[in-house]
Structure formats: C-alpha cells, structure tokens
Amino acid sequence: MEASKNNVAGIDVSAETLDLVVRKKGKNQKVKKFKNTSDGHTSLIEWLRKKNVSHVCLEATGIYHLDLAVTLDQTSDISVMVLNPRVARKFAEATMTRGKTDAIDAGVLAQYADCMDFIVWTAPRPIVLQIKAYSRRLSALAKLKVKTKNQLHALQATIHTPRQVIDDAVLTIAQLENQIVNLEAGALKLIISDEEINNVMILLISVKGIAQTTAIQLIGELLVLPKDMTSKQWVAYAGLDPRANESGKSVSKKRRISKAGNRNLRRALYMPALSASRHEVNVSAYYQHLINNRGITKLQAICAVMRKLLHAIHGMLKSGKSFDGTRFYVIPVES
C-alpha cells in the first residue's frame, strides 16, 4: 500500500534549470529555481526535506530528467513519479490551466501528484542506463546518416554543386558510419559483460529482422521499464495502442495508433517489423492476412505487426524462450 502523502511537489526540468513548486494543503507555493547539476540536485533535496515533501512528480524530458530522477529514487524519504509529457499536457487542459511557463508547468505537476494516483518510479540498474545512452546516441546517428545521404543525393542531382561540397558530404557519411561501428562495439561489450542482459540480446536476435543494432536499441528502451509492466502497457508506452475516434453519430473515423508514447521504441520496432513481414514465414502470413482479409493498408498492417511483435518480445523475456513463429500467428491450412 502506498504511504500517505505529506506535502507534494512538481518539478519542471530543462537542460540547465529546475523549477520546483511545493503544494501544501491543496495550494501551490511560490516557485523556487535550482540548477540542473549534481550540486543543484543536492540543494533541491535539502529544500524538499525542509518543506516536508514526500512525493515529487516530474516529466520525462529526454535525458535531462534522468539524473535527478535517479538521485531522488536513491533517497529513502522521497518518492518520485516520472510522468509522460502528453499525460501532463492533457491534465493541464482538463484543469483549464492558462499559459505555459516553467513555473506553471511545475505547478501542474504538483497538482497532478496531489490529485492523481501516484505511480512510484524505480531507477534501473546503472548498466541499463548506460546501454540506453548508447541506444539513444546510435538512433540519433542513424537518423543523421539517412538525412545526410538524402542531402548527398540532392547535391549529386545538379551539375552546379562543387566537387568539394559533394566530397564533404561523402566524408560526413563515412565518419558517421565509423562512429556507429565504434558505438555498437562499446554497447555490445557492455551487454556481453552482463549475463542477464546478454541473454536478452540472444532472445531478441532470435527474431528474423532484429539484428544487433536494433537489439541494442530495444534493450536500451525496454529494460528501463518496470518489470511488472504487462504487454498491453508496453504497447501503450510505445504509443502503438489503437484509438477510436467517434463522437455521436456524425464522427466515426478509422482507428489509428495513439502515438502517445516513446517514439524511440516505435522507431526501433519499425525496421524489424518490415523485415519480418518479408522474411519470417508466420509474420509474413499475418501481414498478408491483415491486408487481404481485413482490408487495411500496408502501413496499418506494419503497425499491427509492430504491436504484435512487442507482445511477442514481452512473452519471450518473461519465459526466457526464443521467438516461435507459430505462437505469433498460426497459418491457416488450406482445404
């Protein structure tokens, strides 16, 4: 059972500063600012204790919230909740909050901590956080590589581009590829050093379509999640849960994925789903079934495969068993 709340606080996190609002007896206090540094975190915790704060809510803001969340998790007298930014935004809209400043956002988070169910966040193991850092950096470099390749194609499409400009783009691509190789080697060395995480890697690459690079990205995004999360919660976290859009008799649109979740996880699942839909027999059969028998588009079918693949990965990690296509989809026997 959750311990009763004393005072609560909301923290709006940015790269350099932390805006803290303490909420006492249902009312927000004045905002107080701290630096988003190790010393700033220490001062912030001292202030929280001075104000008898037991529960703190902050948003998941890229990487900037992580060190603070880990530090708060290590305290024995303060519980921390890390909130999806979309949830915070919807809560602000529901409470008719006007304006958007760091102080206002911190106040919204304090009110959320006071009024809503408080889901305590627990920090993952340090090695998992390190792999996540590798994962995010590899994802960023891969995206930059694709962008640069597209730029090179455009530069080569006209005779007016100087040779030096083209050579520079080619050099940038080569440098990015070298960075990716080096980072993958570092991540793999870290993964192999931990038996539990290495076993996860082995399970993931048992899926046709999931290579080492993708496995690193999936490990970085999935192993930071609480171990008691269900497969449906994973799907919602990834923003792959289908949402209806209906209102009375006049509005009835097709169901779409919510996208209200971790875009890095969605991005990591896309290429494996695409590859498996072509090369893994049971996944390909499921993909064709969705298009031919359900009448959905190819993109919608890929999203459905991503969702089902995430369910399969959840089951694999729980059972410790490799991917089994027959459990993913049973191919109908033709009569």
pLDDT (tens, 9 = 90+) of the chain, 335 residues, equals 444 568 999 999 988 899 999 999 999 999 999 999 989 999 999 999 999 999 999 988 766 788 899 899 989 999 999 988 878 888 989 988 877 888 999 999 999 999 999 989 888 899 999 999 999 999 999 999 999 999 999 999 999 999 999 999 999 999 999 999 999 999 999 999 999 999 999 999 999 999 999 999 999 999 988 777 789 888 988 888 876 544 444 444 555 666 667 888 999 999 999 999 999 999 999 999 999 999 899 999 999 999 999 999 999 999 999 999 999 999 988 76
Residues 104 and 87 in one domain: yes
Q: How many residues does the chain have?
A: 335
Same domain, 27 and 72: yes
Residue 120 inside a domain? The answer is no
Has residue 333 been placed in a domain?
no
Please indicate, yes or no, whether residues 21 and 109 belong to a single structural domain of this protein.
yes
Q: Are residues 153 and 173 in the same domain?
A: yes
Domain that holds residue 307: 231-247+257-328
175 part of a folded domain: yes
* 183 & 100 share domain: no
Q: Which of 115, 150, 171 is the last residue of a domain?
A: 115
- Tell me, yes or no, if the pTM score tops 0.85: no
Residue 210: inside a domain: yes
The confidence score (pLDDT) of residue 153 equals: 96
CB 243 within 8 A of CB 256: yes
pLDDT of residue 257: 65
The total number of structural domains in the chain stands at 3
The reply to whether 140 and 111 lie within a common domain is: no
pLDDT at 259: 63
User: Which own/partner contact pairs does 117-126 have at CB distance under 8 Å and 24+ positions apart?
Assistant: 118/2, 118/5, 118/55, 118/57, 118/79, 118/81, 119/81, 120/2, 120/79, 120/80, 120/81, 121/69, 121/73, 121/80, 121/81, 121/82, 122/73, 122/226, 123/69, 123/70, 123/73, 123/74, 124/223, 124/224
The verdict on 216 and 168 lying in the same domain is yes
Count of C-beta atoms within a 10 Å radius of residue 284: 18
> Does 213 lie in the same domain as 140?
yes
Burial of 192 (0-12, 13-18, 19+ CB in 10 A): exposed
Strand, coil or helix: 162: coil
CA distance 323 to 317: 10
The CATH number of whichever domain residue 51 belongs to comes to: 3.30.420.40
Q: Within this chain, do residues 95 and 132 fall inside the same structural domain, yes or no?
A: no
Q: Are residues 177 and 143 in the same domain?
A: yes
Domain boundary among 94, 115, 136: 115
Same domain? For 90 and 31 the reply is yes
Residue 27 pLDDT: 93
Return the pLDDT at 325.
Answer: 94
Residue 315 lies in a domain: yes
